[in-house]
A and B are shown apart, each in its own frame.
Chain A
Amino acid sequence: MLITRKAEFSASHLCAQSALTPEQNRELYGAAANPNGHGHNYVLEVTLAGDPDPGTGMVFDLKQLKEIIQKAVVEPMDHRFLNYEVPPFDKVVPTAENVAVEIWNRLQPAFLGSRAQLHNVRLYETEDLYVDYTGELA
């Protein structure tokens, strides 16, 4: 069974590689390459997979999941400029893809030894663009 908890955070970022010219970055990342950055209201959906505990009837305590997401993701990223304030985005381009991978890496250890496993991280950068990551690079 799958259970999903949603969270939101607002952050600024810019997408550019220092090895590329401004024109090349513009070609690759479009408006997201603006050197001064810009922001999004990110929407995160964290999905866990597992069998309900026969006693509690729960796959995982959703209140506890909320706290895990809050601590691992929302507190460090909300109202931050990702490139300057949230490692590894001082070195890694904070595309939606890379932010989703980082969120997976931050959440995943919380479920080691748990009956529920992290199944999918869906990150909406805007209403019209989202990424699904199931940990295949981990």
Chain B
Amino acid sequence: MTVTRRYKFAASHRLHAPQFSEGRNRELYGKCNNPHGHGHDYVLEVRVSGPLDAVSGQVVNVAALDRLVAKQVIKDFDYKYLNADVREFQSVIPTSENILGVIEDRLAACWRSVFPGEGPRLEAIRLRETRRNLFELKAS
């Protein structure tokens, strides 16, 4: 069984690969290359799988998941300029694909301390950049 929880954060970013020319960057990233950046209301879905605990009736303690996601992701991402304010994106271009990779690493870093033993597993994370763009990463 899986439980999926939805979170939101508002952030700005700029897509720019320093090894390419200005022209090549505009071609590659279009409007997302705007030098001053731009923002989105990102919607993040965290999908957790695991056995259903027969006594509690839960796959995951949602409040504990909320605390983990708030501490590892939302606190650092919400109302931030990702390129400047989030350590990882000083060397990684904050495309939605890369944002998912960073979020997975950040959740994995604390997962076992919050959900030890046979606890729930991170199954997938999904990131909606706009209503028309959805990115999904199956957790490794």
Contacts and interface: CB of A to CB of B under 8 A. Distances in A.
Given A30-B63, A137-B52, A97 B4 contact: no
B6 interface: yes
B57 A132 contact: no
Interface in B46-93: 52, 55-59, 61-63
Given A17-B55, A30-B62, A131 B1 contact: yes
Interface residues of A, number: 23
Given A17-B56, A28-B56, A28-B61, A97 B6 contact: no
Contact of A131 (B3, B6, B56, B63): B3
Interface in B25-60: 52, 55-59
Given A98-B57, A101-B52, A131-B1, 10 more contacts: A17-B56, A28-B61, A30-B63, A93-B57, A97-B1, A128-B6, A129-B3, A129-B5, A129-B6, A130-B3
Contact of B1 (A17, A93, A94, A136): A136
Interface residues of B, number: 16
B95 interface: no
Given A97-B3, A97-B52, A136-B1, A129 B57 contact: no
B2 interface: yes
A100 interface: yes
A28 B56 CA distance: 8
Contact of A95 (B5, B6, B56, B63): B56
A116 interface: no
A6 B5 CA distance: 19
A108 to B, nearest CB: 15
A72 B56 CA distance: 25
Given A15-B57, A95-B57, A97-B52, A128 B5 contact: yes
Nearest to A93: B57
Interface string B80-111: 00000000000000000000000000000000
